[in-house]
Structure 1
Amino acid sequence: MGSAADFLARSDAALADRQLKTAIDRTAGTARLKRARIVGEWPDFAVARERGKAIRDHVVAHLGHYLAEFERNAVASGAKVHFARNADEAAGIVVAICEKAGARGVTRSKSMLGEEIGLPHALEAAGIERTETDLAEHIVQLAGERPSHIIWPAMHKTREEIHKLFQASHAAPELGETPVEMAASARRFLREKFRAADVGISGANFLVADSGSVAVVTNEGNAELTTTLPRIHIVTAGIEKLVPTAGHALQMLRLLVRSATGAALTQYTTFHTGPKRAGDADGPEEFHIVLVDNGRTRMLAEAGGLRDMLRCIRCGACMNHCPVFNQIGGHAYGGTYPGPMGAVLTPALDGLSLANRDLAHACTLNGRCREVCPVDIPLPTLLRGWRTKSWREGLEPVTMRAGLGLWRRLATTPALYGLATRLASLALRALGGRRRLIRSLPLVGSAWTRHRDMPAPSGPTFLSSAVARAHAPEARR
């Protein structure tokens, strides 16, 4: 994670990148339309949303019980369960399993938890070749970048950029630029990696307590090749991913898929229960599950606060509908999780500091993220909570504290406030000129106009209009 200044610099660079904006619009815009359509076709969506919220709240309230039940049933199925207190411990467990197996290469299906614990870097440091098998993650790996979205990791890349990456990395003569041709090239490249891998690593969408099963959903089938061909399968999952039964998992999947991709179902929904048994045609000889805390029990202790964030099912809908994310993309946030959910999770996982205090301010508090959240997480409220905490801990810049002090003085002195708004309105009108568009504001106002024009006021201020209505003859009757 970079410094606060780094976040502002990354945001500024992203706003100036027109190609990035084009790439985001293509993906996020389509996602919003598809979600709106399929939710509109589901008359009981509101009921399902309340049910999903209740399921997640129940599990979080009884997390210890369901963790014990899941571990007991997973072990009974032949799995080996490991608990990790933090990111380093989790990555260390995975690397140790790979080293014990003498693994030279591993395949990995998309998992944000793996990114959270720094698994790609840990495997690289151990000299173990890692191949990302999700198509978008494959693109990101070739580019030497991090995911920019939790559902579409390469959403910041245009088709033209991807074509150049594949031309440089795939042994594919005359590689065409169509999505079909590039997908076929990736399939040829990854096929040998699937066959050669000693270990397959996946995440988990849900952990089913009453069977010890792991539910994984994908649209490409890469997770199934990652988890069934190698002789060892390792699952990394946050401890909050639990659901009581498979029936509850299916209820949550209906919400997850519609919110994430705007589809009714994913192409592949697989429940993994233990290693390969006698008579099974395929499957791993060893099945390991690494359950990761990494700050989640601290969030659990925040009753009525960050505890709500443990309901998150990682659908990405909040990002797709966030006006800030849609302008700056995911990399500007600097952490594992971008967008509104990332602005809440990053300080929760890493601690609030100067390095990430600006994340909570990268929000207009318009509330769209909560409106589309399939489990009704009060993201704007949680973001306001981080702002309050930042203020109380003295992390806000002196200039901001001084500016808010001046604003408070103006706002509590009606005559002074009225004079200031009239003068400001006149000044903005003058700056707007005949076109009534302000191209540049002085001093701190320059941040508003660096990458956009600002409309000049076109009528009386709200305050003057309210005062005029209050003194109108009909108002006194």
Structure 2
Amino acid sequence: MAHAQEATTFNENESKVNWHDKALWFVRQKRDKAAFNVKGWETLRDLASAIKANVMSNLDIYLEEFEANAIKNGVTVHWAKDAEEHNKIVHGILQKTNVKKIVKSKSMLTEECHLNPYLEANGIEVIDTDLGERIVQLAEEPPSHIVLPAIHKTKEEVDELFQEHLGTKPCNGDPQYLTDEARKHLRNKFLKADAAVTGVNFAIAETGGIVVCTNEGNADMGAHLAKVHIACMGMEKLIPQEKHLGVFLRLLARSATGQPITTYSSHFNKPAPGTEMHIVIVDNGRTEQLSREDFRASLHCIRCGACMNTCPIYRRSGGHSYNATIPGPIGSILSPGKDLTKHSDLPFASTLCGSCSDVCPVKINIHEQLYKWRQIITKDVPQPIVKKSVLKVTGNVLANSKMYDFVGKSSRFMLKHTPRFLVYSKLNTWGKERELPEVKNGNFDEWYKKRKKNE
């Protein structure tokens, strides 16, 4: 189903849509307050953007430097060209060490590569340990947000889910009780796991170390208890030096959830005695995106989710409507780069208001890239007849001043004199939530000519 159809399904539950919208806007407001309290916030954004641009321009050099330093630290480094190779590498490590149970902290890369079903099909138990990820895993759903994976679920729905899968008591969605029960459930999984899989928020070329940011400590718990730690890393996660880390840590949590910093910013540099540490560096379309000059900056993304929290389309259509691992504005840039035909509708799931670009901590020009994708798609991908016809008629009207004048006058007359029950009918979905502007007698052109005449 296309995004519009999925969004229509999501919008059938109006009260839930309103709740989803307000919840995400609340996070956006927290982000604004947090940013306002940092002196030099815009300077930090400029620095982060410049650092990422430098990395993308010298990616081969930094990757080789990172690999060399990681190997010096006793880490085994693997390279994967795509999702299939990534999954085979991870499975191979687990087979070699006779692992049957793993715990995984939140990693959008492993979601992108569909690691969970691959390992489960090969007889390995995979437990997501981030609370939101565990919720959607129990529900057999993909995450709907890259930071708040279960934001589409109400606490009452989580209550019912836990009753079904964890045997909890009905609690009317009490968050404290549900969290306590999840902790008990997951603690047992941590203790019995043979290996831990984590994502990578930042990889430091200078040291060969990685940094993982969590609010629950689940990455630490998994990596420190298990004998094998596998870190799965998109190749764009690099930063040049350790001193640059402070720039990104100050931006990431504030942009994501409005916190000054994540509760845990964990550094993993080398394996503890008697344990193994592996890093799997994954391409999976990233070098192809790097080759596209108009879209290269999309690889600067640090996965904060701020663009989703502010996007009016995402907030009222839900993450699952995008049918992509990374939903929202940034996902609508990344997904067409992987499969233009499948995801050709996503760049149109935007108002191009620019709010996503305004909040992006690394200053990605998201709305401009969405517009660029639209230009490419309308040339390369066949468009629906209705859409083409409407746009053609609209283009003809806008290109002809007399026709534009006539349509404007006709529309103003109709809106002014048509009975309200016809104007605010099912055909006018916008009018369901808001009043249309008051209709004036003239337009701007007429007002301007009259004003010039009276001067």
TM range (shorter): over 0.9
Does the alignment pair 1:246 with 2:242? yes
Cα 1:363/1:102, change in 2 over 3 Å: same
Deviations along 1:256-311, one digit per CA (max 9) or x if unpaired, are 1110110111111110012113xxxxxx71111000101111111112x1101011
Distance 1:323 1:12 in 2: 15
- Indicate conservation of the 8 Å contact 1:107/1:132, yes or no: yes
Alpha-carbon offset, residue 174 of structure 1: 6.4
Cα 1:407/1:26, change in 2 over 3 Å: closer
SS at match of 1:340: helix
- Describe how 1:130-169 pairs up with structure 2 within 5 A: 130-169=126-165
One-letter amino acid matched to 1:366: C
Alpha-carbon offset, residue 476 of structure 1: 5.6
Question: 1:390 pairs with 332, 355, 377, which one?
Answer: 377
Distance 1:41 1:6 in 2: 41
Q: Identify the residue that residue 364 of structure 2 maps to in structure 1.
A: 377
Question: 1:298 pairs with 288, 291, 313, which one?
Answer: 288
Q: Identify the residue that residue 309 of structure 2 maps to in structure 1.
A: 320
Question: 2:355 pairs with 349, 368, 387, which one?
Answer: 368
Distance 1:25 1:288 in 2: 40
One-letter amino acid matched to 1:392: K
Distance 1:421 1:465 in 2: 8
Does the alignment pair 1:352 with 2:340? yes
- Indicate conservation of the 8 Å contact 2:415/2:423, yes or no: no
- Indicate conservation of the 8 Å contact 2:103/2:196, yes or no: yes
What's the TM-score, normalizing by structure 2? 0.95
SS at match of 2:196: strand
Q: Identify the residue that residue 307 of structure 1 maps to in structure 2.
A: 296
Q: Identify the residue that residue 425 of structure 1 maps to in structure 2.
A: 412
SS at match of 1:149: coil
Does the alignment pair 1:409 with 2:399? no
Alpha-carbon offset, residue 180 of structure 1: 1.2
One-letter amino acid matched to 1:111: S
Does the alignment pair 1:209 with 2:205? yes
- Indicate conservation of the 8 Å contact 2:105/2:197, yes or no: yes
- Indicate conservation of the 8 Å contact 1:428/1:456, yes or no: no
- Aligned pair count reads 455
Cα 1:416/1:474, change in 2 over 3 Å: closer
Q: Identify the residue that residue 333 of structure 1 maps to in structure 2.
A: 322
Cα 1:143/1:435, change in 2 over 3 Å: same
Q: Identify the residue that residue 6 of structure 1 maps to in structure 2.
A: 2
Q: Identify the residue that residue 251 of structure 2 maps to in structure 1.
A: 255
One-letter amino acid matched to 1:286: E
Uncovered stretches (5+) of structure 2, i.e. residues with no partner: none
One-letter amino acid matched to 2:146: I
- Indicate conservation of the 8 Å contact 1:439/1:454, yes or no: no
Distance 2:22 2:160 in 1: 19
Distance 1:108 1:435 in 2: 55
SS at match of 2:103: strand
Alpha-carbon offset, residue 213 of structure 1: 0.4
Q: CA RMSD in A?
A: 1.9
What's the TM-score, normalizing by structure 1? 0.91
Distance 1:436 1:474 in 2: 38
Q: Identify the residue that residue 280 of structure 1 maps to in structure 2.
A: none
- Indicate conservation of the 8 Å contact 1:370/1:376, yes or no: yes
Q: Identify the residue that residue 281 of structure 1 maps to in structure 2.
A: none
SS at match of 2:248: helix
- Indicate conservation of the 8 Å contact 2:3/2:349, yes or no: no
- Indicate conservation of the 8 Å contact 1:15/1:451, yes or no: no
Alpha-carbon offset, residue 29 of structure 1: 2.5
- Indicate conservation of the 8 Å contact 1:106/1:199, yes or no: yes
Q: Identify the residue that residue 102 of structure 2 maps to in structure 1.
A: 106
Cα 1:428/1:456, change in 2 over 3 Å: farther
SS at match of 1:472: helix
Per mean C-alpha deviation after superposition, the further-off stretch among 452-461 and 128-137 is: 452-461
Q: Identify the residue that residue 286 of structure 1 maps to in structure 2.
A: 276
Cα 1:456/1:171, change in 2 over 3 Å: closer
- Indicate conservation of the 8 Å contact 2:157/2:173, yes or no: no
Cα 1:223/1:421, change in 2 over 3 Å: same
Cα 1:392/1:177, change in 2 over 3 Å: closer
Distance 2:28 2:437 in 1: 32
- Indicate conservation of the 8 Å contact 2:139/2:161, yes or no: yes
- Describe how 1:226-241 pairs up with structure 2 within 5 A: 226-241=222-237
Uncovered stretches (5+) of structure 1, i.e. residues with no partner: 278-283, 442-447
SS at match of 1:214: strand
- Indicate conservation of the 8 Å contact 1:438/1:453, yes or no: no
Distance 1:393 1:218 in 2: 41
Alpha-carbon offset, residue 25 of structure 1: 3.4
Per mean C-alpha deviation after superposition, the further-off stretch among 399-408 and 317-326 is: 399-408
| Identical residues among aligned pairs (%) | 36
Does the alignment pair 1:472 with 2:450? yes
- Indicate conservation of the 8 Å contact 1:20/1:329, yes or no: no
Does the alignment pair 1:459 with 2:439? yes
Q: Identify the residue that residue 77 of structure 1 maps to in structure 2.
A: 73
Distance 2:451 2:34 in 1: 52
Alpha-carbon offset, residue 7 of structure 1: 2.3
Distance 1:246 1:453 in 2: 50
Distance 1:17 1:336 in 2: 23
Q: Identify the residue that residue 438 of structure 1 maps to in structure 2.
A: 424
Cα 1:395/1:245, change in 2 over 3 Å: same
Deviations along 1:123-180, one digit per CA (max 9) or x if unpaired, are 1111111101001111111111110000000000101011111112224456573211
One-letter amino acid matched to 1:190: L
Distance 2:331 2:16 in 1: 20
- Indicate conservation of the 8 Å contact 2:416/2:439, yes or no: no
Distance 1:372 1:332 in 2: 22
Does the alignment pair 1:46 with 2:54? no
Question: 2:83 pairs with 87, 112, 121, which one?
Answer: 87
Alpha-carbon offset, residue 344 of structure 1: 0.6
SS at match of 1:271: strand
- Indicate conservation of the 8 Å contact 2:415/2:439, yes or no: no
- Indicate conservation of the 8 Å contact 1:429/1:436, yes or no: no
